[in-house]
A and B are shown apart, each in its own frame.
Chain A
């Protein structure tokens, strides 16, 4: 089975629930367990929140979410065109945050890595950030 979707929306926090629920609905054809659905929703929410809060700190910009199903594997790409990340290795560290004054936990990527099988981050300053995540659903 092969399927593909894409979604574009503005970097407003109101769109977080929309994005994670669309991906959850899209992945239903793989017959996921409730726990797997919950994991995907949380990981998507983390990446979209990062794009909104850190990608576009002072502006409203565009966020693309793409998802692809290949048999029992779900691929998700979340892309923003915002400020980018200076040091990707650093942001992948647990508890690393650039905004402690806003009570940010710095756990976003740690959670993505825990809830998905594979997470990669590509970023260029002032060009944006691409987060790619993959999860294989158990049979």
Chain B
């Protein structure tokens, strides 16, 4: 098997596996097996999977630096899975939960910090997803990397969004927040070290 073919097969497999949780949770939802508050459960599951794929995307670089294992070729797939889950999460909120009650949704965006942070994260992911193809990478050149650094802000906003949606301080949102914080601190640390050490001529 050629290397290119193997990559394409693995990428396809990653998509299939990646979408499985969404297919499963929608199946449970439409067959009325999601318990007492299925809309909330659906939103939460899709939201948590968005955050998981976002974390997986951000893990690719540190994983390579620390262990030498490079999943760089799958990072785009992980990033796109993040976006698709965010889109499903957003659509569920708009269509199933609020039934396109745009007035209520607009009020939510302005007045509710957790919705504001969620919308911010989603708004950032849209241009990143749109510019994720080879053509856009080539066309944007150096600007592409700069644009895609916004993913860090999206990750921070998503983690805060999860933290703000719950009533007290349950464990899960804190754990996700901590993971995102560590990943961002790792980036920031690298960035600062690089700046302090002048490039060797």
Q: Answer yes or no: do A and B interact.
A: no
